[in-house]
Structure 1
Amino acid sequence: MATGVEELVEMLFSMIDEAKSVPLSSEKCIIERDKALDLLDDIKAQFPMELGEAKKLLAARTDYIASAKREAELIRKQAEEKARQMLAEDELTAQARQKANEMLKVAEERSRELRRAANEYCEDALRRTEEAVSEAYDEIKRSRARFRAAAAGVQPASGTGSSGGAQAGRAVYDAEADS
Protein backbone atom coordinates (compact mmCIF):
# COMPACT_ATOMS: atom_id res chain seq x y z
CA MET A 1 0.00 0.00 0.00
CA ALA A 2 1.28 3.45 -0.88
CA THR A 3 2.16 5.67 2.05
CA GLY A 4 2.40 9.19 0.67
CA VAL A 5 0.20 11.51 -1.34
CA GLU A 6 2.85 11.85 -4.03
CA GLU A 7 3.10 8.07 -4.44
CA LEU A 8 -0.69 7.73 -4.66
CA VAL A 9 -0.90 10.49 -7.27
CA GLU A 10 1.87 8.74 -9.22
CA MET A 11 -0.12 5.49 -9.10
CA LEU A 12 -3.21 7.30 -10.41
CA PHE A 13 -1.16 8.88 -13.18
CA SER A 14 0.27 5.48 -14.15
CA MET A 15 -3.22 3.97 -14.21
CA ILE A 16 -4.41 6.62 -16.66
CA ASP A 17 -1.18 6.56 -18.67
CA GLU A 18 -1.30 2.77 -19.08
CA ALA A 19 -5.06 2.57 -19.79
CA LYS A 20 -6.20 0.88 -22.97
CA SER A 21 -7.18 3.18 -25.82
CA VAL A 22 -10.72 3.25 -27.09
CA PRO A 23 -10.87 1.69 -30.57
CA LEU A 24 -10.56 4.23 -33.37
CA SER A 25 -9.47 6.98 -30.96
CA SER A 26 -6.00 7.85 -29.74
CA GLU A 27 -7.33 10.54 -27.39
CA LYS A 28 -9.68 8.39 -25.31
CA CYS A 29 -9.02 5.47 -22.98
CA ILE A 30 -10.82 3.11 -20.63
CA ILE A 31 -10.01 2.95 -16.91
CA GLU A 32 -11.55 1.12 -14.00
CA ARG A 33 -13.58 3.71 -12.16
CA ASP A 34 -13.55 1.87 -8.80
CA LYS A 35 -9.75 1.61 -8.75
CA ALA A 36 -9.35 5.26 -9.69
CA LEU A 37 -11.87 6.37 -7.07
CA ASP A 38 -10.17 4.15 -4.46
CA LEU A 39 -6.87 5.89 -5.19
CA LEU A 40 -8.55 9.28 -4.86
CA ASP A 41 -10.05 8.20 -1.53
CA ASP A 42 -6.59 7.10 -0.34
CA ILE A 43 -5.18 10.48 -1.36
CA LYS A 44 -7.92 12.28 0.55
CA ALA A 45 -7.17 10.11 3.58
CA GLN A 46 -3.49 11.12 3.47
CA PHE A 47 -4.16 14.86 3.73
CA PRO A 48 -4.76 14.82 7.51
CA MET A 49 -1.40 13.07 7.96
CA GLU A 50 0.36 15.67 5.79
CA LEU A 51 -1.28 18.45 7.80
CA GLY A 52 -0.29 16.68 11.01
CA GLU A 53 3.32 16.76 9.87
CA ALA A 54 3.03 20.50 9.25
CA LYS A 55 1.64 20.97 12.79
CA LYS A 56 4.53 18.95 14.18
CA LEU A 57 6.94 21.25 12.36
CA LEU A 58 5.26 24.28 13.89
CA ALA A 59 5.47 22.73 17.35
CA ALA A 60 9.14 21.89 16.80
CA ARG A 61 9.77 25.48 15.72
CA THR A 62 8.09 26.78 18.87
CA ASP A 63 10.14 24.42 21.04
CA TYR A 64 13.32 25.44 19.23
CA ILE A 65 12.63 29.15 19.78
CA ALA A 66 11.75 28.56 23.45
CA SER A 67 14.97 26.61 23.90
CA ALA A 68 16.96 29.41 22.27
CA LYS A 69 15.32 31.94 24.60
CA ARG A 70 16.11 29.80 27.64
CA GLU A 71 19.71 29.43 26.50
CA ALA A 72 19.99 33.17 25.90
CA GLU A 73 18.50 33.89 29.33
CA LEU A 74 20.92 31.46 30.97
CA ILE A 75 23.85 33.09 29.17
CA ARG A 76 22.58 36.51 30.19
CA LYS A 77 22.24 35.46 33.84
CA GLN A 78 25.70 33.94 33.78
CA ALA A 79 27.06 37.15 32.32
CA GLU A 80 25.31 39.22 34.99
CA GLU A 81 26.62 36.98 37.77
CA LYS A 82 30.13 37.14 36.41
CA ALA A 83 29.83 40.91 36.16
CA ARG A 84 28.67 41.14 39.81
CA GLN A 85 31.64 39.07 40.94
CA MET A 86 34.02 41.22 38.96
CA LEU A 87 32.49 44.43 40.29
CA ALA A 88 33.30 43.30 43.82
CA GLU A 89 36.92 43.79 42.99
CA ASP A 90 37.57 47.53 42.61
CA GLU A 91 40.54 47.23 40.31
CA LEU A 92 38.61 45.04 37.79
CA THR A 93 35.37 47.04 37.68
CA ALA A 94 35.87 48.49 34.20
CA GLN A 95 37.00 45.17 32.78
CA ALA A 96 33.99 43.40 34.29
CA ARG A 97 31.52 45.81 32.73
CA GLN A 98 33.12 45.49 29.36
CA LYS A 99 33.18 41.68 29.49
CA ALA A 100 29.58 41.49 30.73
CA ASN A 101 28.39 43.75 27.90
CA GLU A 102 30.27 41.68 25.36
CA MET A 103 28.78 38.45 26.71
CA LEU A 104 25.33 39.98 26.71
CA LYS A 105 25.75 41.15 23.11
CA VAL A 106 26.99 37.71 22.10
CA ALA A 107 24.04 36.07 23.86
CA GLU A 108 21.54 38.43 22.26
CA GLU A 109 23.13 37.99 18.82
CA ARG A 110 23.11 34.22 19.23
CA SER A 111 19.48 34.33 20.33
CA ARG A 112 18.57 36.43 17.29
CA GLU A 113 20.52 34.12 15.01
CA LEU A 114 18.91 31.00 16.47
CA ARG A 115 15.46 32.56 16.17
CA ARG A 116 16.16 33.65 12.57
CA ALA A 117 17.50 30.20 11.64
CA ALA A 118 14.52 28.46 13.24
CA ASN A 119 12.08 30.78 11.46
CA GLU A 120 13.79 30.25 8.09
CA TYR A 121 13.85 26.49 8.54
CA CYS A 122 10.21 26.28 9.55
CA GLU A 123 9.10 28.73 6.87
CA ASP A 124 10.91 26.70 4.21
CA ALA A 125 9.53 23.39 5.49
CA LEU A 126 6.01 24.78 5.69
CA ARG A 127 6.31 26.33 2.23
CA ARG A 128 7.42 23.01 0.74
CA THR A 129 4.66 21.15 2.57
CA GLU A 130 2.08 23.71 1.45
CA GLU A 131 3.27 23.44 -2.17
CA ALA A 132 3.16 19.63 -2.08
CA VAL A 133 -0.31 19.59 -0.54
CA SER A 134 -1.53 22.25 -2.97
CA GLU A 135 -0.14 20.39 -6.00
CA ALA A 136 -1.68 17.12 -4.85
CA TYR A 137 -5.01 18.81 -4.15
CA ASP A 138 -5.01 20.49 -7.58
CA GLU A 139 -4.22 17.16 -9.23
CA ILE A 140 -7.10 15.53 -7.37
CA LYS A 141 -9.51 18.24 -8.49
CA ARG A 142 -8.37 17.88 -12.12
CA SER A 143 -8.58 14.09 -11.96
CA ARG A 144 -12.05 14.13 -10.45
CA ALA A 145 -13.21 16.57 -13.11
CA ARG A 146 -11.85 14.28 -15.83
CA PHE A 147 -13.47 11.24 -14.25
CA ARG A 148 -16.81 12.99 -13.86
CA ALA A 149 -16.62 14.13 -17.47
CA ALA A 150 -15.73 10.61 -18.54
CA ALA A 151 -18.56 9.12 -16.51
CA ALA A 152 -21.04 11.62 -17.93
CA GLY A 153 -19.92 10.74 -21.44
CA VAL A 154 -20.54 6.95 -21.16
CA GLN A 155 -22.54 5.64 -24.15
CA PRO A 156 -24.55 2.39 -23.89
CA ALA A 157 -23.31 -0.50 -26.06
CA SER A 158 -24.96 -0.70 -29.46
CA GLY A 159 -27.34 -3.56 -30.15
CA THR A 160 -25.32 -4.78 -33.14
CA GLY A 161 -23.55 -7.43 -31.09
CA SER A 162 -20.14 -6.39 -32.40
CA SER A 163 -17.26 -6.22 -29.98
CA GLY A 164 -16.28 -2.72 -31.18
CA GLY A 165 -17.29 0.47 -29.36
CA ALA A 166 -17.60 1.18 -25.63
CA GLN A 167 -18.70 -1.59 -23.30
CA ALA A 168 -21.94 -1.02 -21.42
CA GLY A 169 -21.45 0.26 -17.89
CA ARG A 170 -17.75 1.17 -18.31
CA ALA A 171 -16.51 4.75 -18.11
CA VAL A 172 -14.73 6.12 -21.14
CA TYR A 173 -12.01 8.63 -20.37
CA ASP A 174 -11.92 11.54 -22.77
CA ALA A 175 -8.41 13.01 -22.81
CA GLU A 176 -9.61 15.65 -25.30
CA ALA A 177 -11.64 17.22 -22.50
CA ASP A 178 -8.36 17.79 -20.61
CA SER A 179 -7.08 20.17 -23.29
Structure 2
Amino acid sequence: MSSRMEQIIEEIEEYIDNCKYQPLSSTKIVVNKDELEELLTELKMKTPEEIKRYQKIISNKEAILADAQAKADAIIAQAQVQTSELVSEHQIMQQAYAQANEVVMIATKQAQEILDKATNDANNIRMGAIQYTDSSLKNIEEILSHAIEGSQARYDNLIHTLQGCLDVVTANRNELLPEEEDASSGQAKQETTAAEPATQEAPANEIPEE
Protein backbone atom coordinates (compact mmCIF):
# COMPACT_ATOMS: atom_id res chain seq x y z
CA MET A 1 0.00 0.00 0.00
CA SER A 2 1.51 3.34 -1.07
CA SER A 3 1.82 6.25 1.36
CA ARG A 4 -0.05 9.52 1.01
CA MET A 5 3.23 11.18 0.04
CA GLU A 6 3.58 8.84 -2.94
CA GLN A 7 -0.05 9.46 -3.90
CA ILE A 8 0.48 13.24 -3.87
CA ILE A 9 3.56 12.91 -6.09
CA GLU A 10 1.56 10.76 -8.51
CA GLU A 11 -1.24 13.35 -8.51
CA ILE A 12 1.25 16.12 -9.30
CA GLU A 13 2.76 14.08 -12.15
CA GLU A 14 -0.72 13.30 -13.52
CA TYR A 15 -1.73 16.97 -13.20
CA ILE A 16 1.37 18.11 -15.12
CA ASP A 17 0.74 15.48 -17.83
CA ASN A 18 -2.82 16.79 -18.31
CA CYS A 19 -1.83 20.48 -18.54
CA LYS A 20 -2.14 22.17 -21.93
CA TYR A 21 0.93 23.42 -23.78
CA GLN A 22 1.47 27.13 -24.31
CA PRO A 23 0.78 28.41 -27.84
CA LEU A 24 3.64 27.71 -30.24
CA SER A 25 5.48 25.60 -27.65
CA SER A 26 5.92 21.85 -27.23
CA THR A 27 7.69 22.02 -23.85
CA LYS A 28 6.10 24.85 -21.84
CA ILE A 29 2.71 24.23 -20.21
CA VAL A 30 -0.01 26.33 -18.61
CA VAL A 31 -0.73 25.40 -14.98
CA ASN A 32 -3.32 26.44 -12.44
CA LYS A 33 -1.26 28.06 -9.69
CA ASP A 34 -3.81 27.45 -6.92
CA GLU A 35 -4.20 23.75 -7.68
CA LEU A 36 -0.46 23.15 -7.91
CA GLU A 37 0.24 25.12 -4.71
CA GLU A 38 -2.44 23.12 -2.90
CA LEU A 39 -0.76 19.84 -3.86
CA LEU A 40 2.70 21.15 -2.96
CA THR A 41 1.45 22.44 0.41
CA GLU A 42 -0.01 19.05 1.27
CA LEU A 43 3.22 17.42 0.15
CA LYS A 44 5.23 19.69 2.47
CA MET A 45 2.94 18.77 5.37
CA LYS A 46 3.22 15.04 4.71
CA THR A 47 6.99 14.96 4.20
CA PRO A 48 7.91 15.27 7.92
CA GLU A 49 5.43 12.50 8.79
CA GLU A 50 7.00 10.17 6.23
CA ILE A 51 10.51 10.94 7.46
CA LYS A 52 9.43 10.23 11.06
CA ARG A 53 8.01 6.91 9.94
CA TYR A 54 11.27 5.94 8.30
CA GLN A 55 13.21 7.05 11.37
CA LYS A 56 10.99 4.79 13.44
CA ILE A 57 11.80 1.90 11.11
CA ILE A 58 15.51 2.65 11.45
CA SER A 59 15.20 2.80 15.25
CA ASN A 60 13.77 -0.73 15.17
CA LYS A 61 17.33 -1.88 14.46
CA GLU A 62 18.05 -1.73 18.17
CA ALA A 63 14.97 -3.79 18.96
CA ILE A 64 15.99 -6.39 16.37
CA LEU A 65 19.50 -6.61 17.83
CA ALA A 66 18.12 -6.83 21.38
CA ASP A 67 15.79 -9.67 20.39
CA ALA A 68 18.66 -11.49 18.68
CA GLN A 69 20.84 -11.02 21.76
CA ALA A 70 18.07 -12.42 23.97
CA LYS A 71 17.74 -15.48 21.74
CA ALA A 72 21.52 -15.98 21.77
CA ASP A 73 21.63 -15.68 25.55
CA ALA A 74 18.81 -18.20 25.86
CA ILE A 75 20.65 -20.69 23.65
CA ILE A 76 23.86 -20.26 25.64
CA ALA A 77 21.98 -20.64 28.94
CA GLN A 78 20.33 -23.80 27.71
CA ALA A 79 23.70 -25.13 26.62
CA GLN A 80 25.17 -24.38 30.04
CA VAL A 81 22.29 -26.24 31.72
CA GLN A 82 22.86 -29.22 29.48
CA THR A 83 26.59 -29.04 30.27
CA SER A 84 25.91 -29.02 33.99
CA GLU A 85 23.64 -32.04 33.69
CA LEU A 86 26.20 -33.98 31.71
CA VAL A 87 29.06 -33.11 34.02
CA SER A 88 27.06 -34.24 37.10
CA GLU A 89 27.12 -37.78 35.84
CA HIS A 90 30.53 -39.10 36.93
CA GLN A 91 30.35 -42.30 34.88
CA ILE A 92 30.24 -40.36 31.66
CA MET A 93 32.49 -37.50 32.76
CA GLN A 94 34.73 -37.42 29.68
CA GLN A 95 31.83 -37.72 27.31
CA ALA A 96 30.04 -34.98 29.22
CA TYR A 97 32.94 -32.56 28.78
CA ALA A 98 33.16 -33.31 25.06
CA GLN A 99 29.45 -32.92 24.56
CA ALA A 100 29.37 -29.81 26.70
CA ASN A 101 32.09 -28.14 24.65
CA GLU A 102 30.37 -29.11 21.44
CA VAL A 103 27.03 -27.75 22.66
CA VAL A 104 28.65 -24.49 23.75
CA MET A 105 30.43 -24.13 20.38
CA ILE A 106 27.23 -24.82 18.46
CA ALA A 107 25.26 -22.42 20.64
CA THR A 108 27.91 -19.71 20.24
CA LYS A 109 27.93 -20.21 16.47
CA GLN A 110 24.14 -20.03 16.27
CA ALA A 111 24.08 -16.93 18.46
CA GLN A 112 26.65 -15.23 16.23
CA GLU A 113 24.69 -16.16 13.10
CA ILE A 114 21.53 -14.70 14.62
CA LEU A 115 23.35 -11.49 15.51
CA ASP A 116 24.92 -11.22 12.04
CA LYS A 117 21.57 -11.81 10.34
CA ALA A 118 19.85 -9.29 12.60
CA THR A 119 22.55 -6.70 11.88
CA ASN A 120 22.26 -7.24 8.11
CA ASP A 121 18.46 -7.02 8.24
CA ALA A 122 18.60 -3.81 10.27
CA ASN A 123 21.15 -2.27 7.87
CA ASN A 124 19.07 -3.27 4.84
CA ILE A 125 15.97 -1.69 6.38
CA ARG A 126 17.93 1.48 7.14
CA MET A 127 19.39 1.74 3.63
CA GLY A 128 16.00 1.07 2.05
CA ALA A 129 14.38 3.81 4.11
CA ILE A 130 17.16 6.27 3.25
CA GLN A 131 16.98 5.47 -0.48
CA TYR A 132 13.20 5.79 -0.53
CA THR A 133 13.30 9.12 1.30
CA ASP A 134 16.02 10.42 -1.04
CA SER A 135 14.02 9.33 -4.09
CA SER A 136 10.92 11.10 -2.80
CA LEU A 137 12.86 14.29 -2.06
CA LYS A 138 14.44 14.11 -5.54
CA ASN A 139 10.98 13.99 -7.13
CA ILE A 140 9.96 17.03 -5.09
CA GLU A 141 13.17 18.83 -6.12
CA GLU A 142 12.48 18.17 -9.82
CA ILE A 143 8.88 19.38 -9.52
CA LEU A 144 9.96 22.61 -7.82
CA SER A 145 12.74 23.17 -10.38
CA HIS A 146 10.25 22.81 -13.25
CA ALA A 147 7.87 25.23 -11.56
CA ILE A 148 10.64 27.79 -11.11
CA GLU A 149 11.73 27.44 -14.75
CA GLY A 150 8.14 27.91 -15.94
CA SER A 151 7.72 31.04 -13.81
CA GLN A 152 11.02 32.48 -15.11
CA ALA A 153 9.96 31.85 -18.71
CA ARG A 154 6.64 33.63 -18.17
CA TYR A 155 8.45 36.56 -16.54
CA ASP A 156 10.90 36.82 -19.46
CA ASN A 157 8.01 36.77 -21.97
CA LEU A 158 6.26 39.56 -20.04
CA ILE A 159 9.43 41.74 -20.01
CA HIS A 160 9.92 41.14 -23.74
CA THR A 161 6.31 42.15 -24.48
CA LEU A 162 6.55 45.30 -22.32
CA GLN A 163 9.84 46.25 -24.02
CA GLY A 164 8.17 45.91 -27.40
CA CYS A 165 5.33 48.21 -26.32
CA LEU A 166 7.85 50.74 -24.97
CA ASP A 167 9.74 50.72 -28.28
CA VAL A 168 6.50 51.41 -30.21
CA VAL A 169 5.52 54.29 -27.90
CA THR A 170 9.02 55.82 -28.13
CA ALA A 171 8.99 55.57 -31.94
CA ASN A 172 5.57 57.25 -32.11
CA ARG A 173 6.75 60.11 -29.91
CA ASN A 174 9.84 60.61 -32.05
CA GLU A 175 7.62 60.90 -35.12
CA LEU A 176 5.50 63.59 -33.42
CA LEU A 177 8.31 65.73 -31.96
CA PRO A 178 9.71 67.22 -35.29
CA GLU A 179 6.27 68.60 -36.24
CA GLU A 180 5.80 70.19 -32.82
CA GLU A 181 9.24 71.87 -33.02
CA ASP A 182 8.57 73.32 -36.54
CA ALA A 183 5.20 74.74 -35.43
CA SER A 184 6.74 76.32 -32.33
CA SER A 185 9.55 77.91 -34.37
CA GLY A 186 7.10 79.49 -36.88
CA GLN A 187 4.88 80.92 -34.17
CA ALA A 188 7.87 82.42 -32.33
CA LYS A 189 9.08 84.12 -35.55
CA GLN A 190 5.67 85.72 -36.17
CA GLU A 191 5.52 87.07 -32.62
CA THR A 192 9.00 88.59 -32.96
CA THR A 193 8.06 90.41 -36.24
CA ALA A 194 4.88 91.87 -34.79
CA ALA A 195 6.69 93.20 -31.75
CA GLU A 196 9.32 95.20 -33.71
CA PRO A 197 8.47 99.06 -33.70
CA ALA A 198 8.00 100.93 -37.03
CA THR A 199 10.98 103.08 -38.07
CA GLN A 200 10.12 106.82 -37.98
CA GLU A 201 12.12 109.44 -39.86
CA ALA A 202 13.06 112.63 -38.02
CA PRO A 203 11.62 115.94 -39.49
CA ALA A 204 14.01 117.71 -41.83
CA ASN A 205 13.76 121.06 -40.02
CA GLU A 206 14.36 119.53 -36.56
CA ILE A 207 17.89 119.90 -35.42
CA PRO A 208 18.94 117.10 -33.23
CA GLU A 209 20.27 118.10 -29.84
CA GLU A 210 23.96 117.82 -29.34
TM range (shorter): 0.7 to 0.9
1:99, CA displacement in angstroms? 1.9
Cα separation, partners in 2 of 1:71 and 1:3, compared to 1, 3 Å = closer
Q: Distance in 1 between matches of 2:73 and 2:49?
A: 36
> Structure 2 matches for 1:104-143, cutoff 5 A?
104-143=104-143
Give the SS at the match of 2:29.
Answer: strand
Deviations 1:72-123 (A, max 9, x none): 2122122222212222222212222222222222222222222222222222
The one-letter code of the counterpart of 1:129 is A
> How far off its partner does 1:137 sit?
0.8
How far apart, CA to CA, are the structure 2 residues paired with 1:108 and 1:50? Answer: 39
2:70 aligned partner: 70
Change (3 A) 1:59 1:139: closer
> Which residue of structure 2 lines up, in the alignment, with residue 30 of structure 1?
30
Identity value in percent: 21
- Richer in helix (by share): 2
Structure 1 residues 133 and 70, CA, compared in 2 at 3 Å: closer, same or farther? same
Q: Which residue of 2 aligns with 1:58?
A: 58
Q: Which residue is equivalent to 1:47?
A: 47
Q: Return the alpha-carbon distance in structure 2 between the equivalents of residues 13 and 40 of structure 1.
A: 12
Q: What is the root-mean-square deviation of aligned Cα atoms in Å?
A: 2.3
Q: Higher mean Cα deviation, 26-35 or 41-50?
A: 41-50
Hey, what's the Cα distance between the residues in 2 that align with 1:57 and 1:121? 11
Q: Name the amino acid aligned to 1:121.
A: D
Report the TM-score when normalising by structure 1. Answer: 0.76
- Contiguous gaps of at least 5 residues in structure 2: 162-210
Equivalents in 1 of 2:27, 2:142: separation in Å?
Answer: 17
Q: Give the aligned partner of residue 100 of structure 1.
A: 100
- Greater relative contact order structure (CA < 8 Å, 6+ sep): 1
Q: Is the CA contact (8 Å cut-off) linking 1:8 and 1:39 kept in structure 2?
A: yes
CA distance in 1, matches of 2:47, 2:122: 19
Q: TM-score, normalised by structure 2?
A: 0.66
Give the letter aligned to residue 66 of structure 1: A
CA distance in 2, matches of 1:8, 1:33: 16
Contact 2:79/2:107 (8 A) holds in 1: no
Native 8 Å contact 2:75 2:111 kept in 1:
no
d(CA) in 1 for partners of 2:17, 2:123: 35
Counterpart of 2:4 in structure 1 is 4
Report the alpha carbon displacement of residue 23 of structure 1 after superposing the two structures with TM: 1.6
> Displaced runs of 4+ in structure 1, greater than 3 A?
none
3-state SS in 1 of match to 2:23: coil
- Name the CA shift for 1:103/1:41 in 2 (closer, same or farther; >3 Å): farther
